[in-house]
Structure 1
Amino acid sequence: MNFSYPFIRRPVGTTLLAIGLFLIGCVAYSFLPVASLPSFELPTVRVSASRPGADPATMAASVAAPLERRLGEIAGVSEITSVSSLGSSNITIQFDLGRSIDGAGRDVQAALNAAATDLPSDLPTLPTFRKVNPAAFPIFILAMTSPTISAAEIYNIADTVVVQRLSQVEGVAEVVATGAEQPAVRVQFNPVALASIGLSAEDVRNAIVNANAAGPLGVLDGDGQSVTLGSNGQLWDPRDFNPIIVKSNNGSVVRLTDVASVKRGVRNNFSAAWFNRQPAVLLTVTRQANSNIIETVDHLKEVLDDLKNWIPADVHISVLSDRSQTIRASVRDMQITLGITAVLVMLVVLVFLRRATPTVAAGITVPLSLAGTCALMWF
């Protein structure tokens, strides 16, 4: 039996089926993810650890090496790479393609717990990990500048307001702020003064840590109520650090201001960015694996218009890079090419057959085939 026989015998049903297929294809076309490259995911986990003030060699020996030993014991690991810089280490673990990323994450967490005893005790926080896609690339890069506000304050605005809001946009996987650091109080030791009184940098550090702490003190029980007591000794102003007692001996008191200078600064002086000759904070937006880049960027631009009401008027947000522009141009070229293709098919049929019916049939068949292809890709 001929495959086309039932469709020829039922022209009305065939017409309705073709119209339905065409409409479904048009709807499916609008929902298809758009990207410049095919989307693929590798089971990869990235571990981050920080130790402020440690040089790269110290980070590699004291932090990265113990973590690598534990992470290397996980089954299914195909590659481990680490990069250590001033005060931080980043370790990337790539697993076999058949490995579940959720199971790999649980194994990484267990390895981090096992490595906790091998790590230095002065780490501010335990190492953290997150699942990453090495094939992901930034789709949107923003630059925040201000003629009156410092880069550290801009970074604080970006980290607390802008990054949080952009991360909530549908299709966004991660938003990273770079180019500046969080505000901090920097203490610069005088090594000559420390040596003259027999103190080390570790003694000064311990004195600062003990004086700059917040924690519970206990509970005060009364007849009618109980009150929880706590200390709030955290210092924010550089002037509050100067009276800290570093050493006390036989009535002689050595304060922090005697052996060091305290000033306001940032956590990392070596992180900086400029845009149009102004200090800037860069916001890098990465999309989710199956999201539509064009729709995601459009949503981001809508959020940027709303963010102007939540940040100071002196802070300007500029678009530094927009990957959707090249993709939009490629999509337009594809649409024009498909239209020209359909016209050329009709012309070829008309020239060789010189009949109107096959020509019209070819003009209908080509768009209908494309619509059916889009419908199959969607489902």
Structure 2
Amino acid sequence: MQVLPPGSTGGPSRLFILRPVATTLLMAAILLAGIIGYRFLPVAALPEVDYPTIQVVTLYPGASPDVMTSAITAPLERQFGQMSGLKQMSSQSSGGASVVTLQFQLTLPLDVAEQEVQAAINAATNLLPSDLPNPPIYSKVNPADPPIMTLAVTSNAMPMTQVEDMVETRVAQKISQVSGVGLVTLAGGQRPAVRVKLNAQAVAALGLTSETIRTAITGANVNSAKGSLDGPERAVTLSANDQMQSADEYRRLIIAYQNGAPVRLGDVATVEQGAENSWLGAWANQAPAIVMNVQRQPGANIIATADSIRQMLPSLPKACRNR
């Protein structure tokens, strides 16, 4: 028989004091359950670890996989291979695109790795083709990770080409600034572009080739320095708005001369305003949409990053939220 101190009720422990045998059996059962449960814990010999990972993408429209490998991927790999802390490097070259994935040591901070990648890209600039439309773009994301959030943007008032332009230039950039976001990719987008469809018979009749027309379009739409005029009292920088923006401007473009008469692009081709790739599309709730896939940075908390994105969405401009 257990004797409690005078005036003491025993509190929650009274039951265990008065029942020592039951208490002993309960503790033994808990210990046994813990031992059995420990054997079934999902312990892996090689647990998942978020290595600092950066992906570098370079686009070179019209280039074959062989050209991408020799002219783009190889020069970049030579520069990336000189970086300290690099653990693994893999690359993939396809028609018009080169993707290099860089994985760094765990001891190397991601911000430091980002600076090294940017320095390597700058060093490789002179080794890349001079007519490369855009420099290589890098993102702090592991391509093997699935998106943590997928958003869809639809509109009943704007064509999808304008919606895509708004999402790419305003919404996606705003989401990319959220802490923990590594990459925002668009799917189903129809980027606005001027489409040129050559009339093969008209081109052949004038003795022209598609390469001749392509060269004429490229040469007439170059954004380059025009020079300057230096005087005794002032210097003037020359500038000209020579960037063609609409289909009408392309139609009037002179691509060649025949017997002293100009041949315009509209004479041998159908020029129209449209989408860069008409074979892409996405739908949400049975309506055309632009889909944004959001991936996290290595080591970022999924729930915290997703909550931060949700809190940011109401701060978007009204024009972006009411579409």
Same fold (TM over 0.5): yes
Q: Cα deviation per residue 1:18-72 (whole Å; 9 max; x = unaligned)?
A: xxxxxxxxxxxxxxxxxxxx98431333221111233555534543345445545
Residues 1:237 and 2:242 are matched in the alignment: no
**Structure 1 residues 42 and 115: CA distance shift in structure 2, 3 A:** same
Alignment match of 1:263 (pick from 272, 275, 287): 272
Residue identity (%): 41
Alignment match of 1:287 (pick from 296, 314, 318): 296
**Structure 1 residues 135 and 218: CA distance shift in structure 2, 3 A:** closer
1:89 equivalent in structure 2: 98
- Is 2:52–2:298's contact at 8 Å kept on the other side of the alignment? no
Q: Cα deviation per residue 1:101-144 (whole Å; 9 max; x = unaligned)?
A: 56655654565456545543321123233443456542221111
In 2, Cα distance between equivalents of 1:68 and 1:195: 43
In 1, Cα distance between equivalents of 2:299 and 2:134: 33
Alignment match of 2:155 (pick from 146, 153, 157): 146
In structure 1, give the amino acid aligned to 2:193.
A
- Is 1:181–1:271's contact at 8 Å kept on the other side of the alignment? yes
In 2, Cα distance between equivalents of 1:302 and 1:105: 27
**Structure 1 residues 270 and 123: CA distance shift in structure 2, 3 A:** farther
1:64 equivalent in structure 2: 73
**Structure 1 residues 137 and 225: CA distance shift in structure 2, 3 A:** same
In 2, Cα distance between equivalents of 1:45 and 1:111: 13
In structure 1, give the amino acid aligned to 2:226.
L
- Is 2:50–2:299's contact at 8 Å kept on the other side of the alignment? no
2:55 equivalent in structure 1: 46
Alignment match of 1:213 (pick from 222, 227, 233): 222
In 2, Cα distance between equivalents of 1:219 and 1:121: 24
Q: Cα offset for 1:251? A: 1.0
Q: Cα offset for 1:231? A: 0.7
**Structure 1 residues 198 and 118: CA distance shift in structure 2, 3 A:** farther
What is the DSSP-based 3-state SS (H/G/I as helix, E as strand, rest coil) of the residue aligned with 1:254? strand
Q: Cα offset for 1:281? A: 0.8
Residues 1:188 and 2:197 are matched in the alignment: yes
1:1-379 correspondence to structure 2 within 5 Å = 40-56=49-65, 58-60=67-69, 62-68=71-77, 71-72=80-81, 78-97=87-106, 105=114, 108-109=117-118, 111-112=120-121, 115-116=124-125, 118-133=127-142, 136-220=145-229, 226-307=235-316, 309-311=318-320, 313=322, 315=323
In 2, Cα distance between equivalents of 1:251 and 1:185: 28
What is the DSSP-based 3-state SS (H/G/I as helix, E as strand, rest coil) of the residue aligned with 1:132? coil
Question: How many aligned residue pairs are there?
Answer: 277
In 2, Cα distance between equivalents of 1:126 and 1:143: 28
What is the DSSP-based 3-state SS (H/G/I as helix, E as strand, rest coil) of the residue aligned with 1:125? coil
1:362 equivalent in structure 2: none
What is the DSSP-based 3-state SS (H/G/I as helix, E as strand, rest coil) of the residue aligned with 1:233? coil
In structure 1, give the amino acid aligned to 2:296.
R
**Structure 1 residues 272 and 81: CA distance shift in structure 2, 3 A:** farther
In structure 1, give the amino acid aligned to 2:208.
L
**Structure 1 residues 228 and 71: CA distance shift in structure 2, 3 A:** closer
**Structure 1 residues 130 and 261: CA distance shift in structure 2, 3 A:** same
Q: Cα offset for 1:85? A: 4.2
Unaligned runs of 5+ in 1: 1-37, 316-379
Q: Cα deviation per residue 1:295-347 (whole Å; 9 max; x = unaligned)?
A: 4333322332333623273x2xxxxxxxxxxxxxxxxxxxxxxxxxxxxxxxx
**Structure 1 residues 241 and 221: CA distance shift in structure 2, 3 A:** same
Q: Cα offset for 1:209? A: 2.2
1:360 equivalent in structure 2: none
My pick for the range that moved more, 190-199 or 108-117, is 108-117
**Structure 1 residues 86 and 269: CA distance shift in structure 2, 3 A:** farther
Structure number having the greater helix percentage: 1
My pick for the range that moved more, 219-228 or 49-58, is 219-228
- Is 1:147–1:278's contact at 8 Å kept on the other side of the alignment? no
In 1, Cα distance between equivalents of 2:225 and 2:160: 35
TM-score, normalised on structure 2? 0.70
What is the DSSP-based 3-state SS (H/G/I as helix, E as strand, rest coil) of the residue aligned with 1:123? coil
In structure 2, give the amino acid aligned to 1:255.
R
TM-score, normalised on structure 1? 0.61
- Is 1:241–1:262's contact at 8 Å kept on the other side of the alignment? yes
**Structure 1 residues 260 and 274: CA distance shift in structure 2, 3 A:** same
1:343 equivalent in structure 2: none
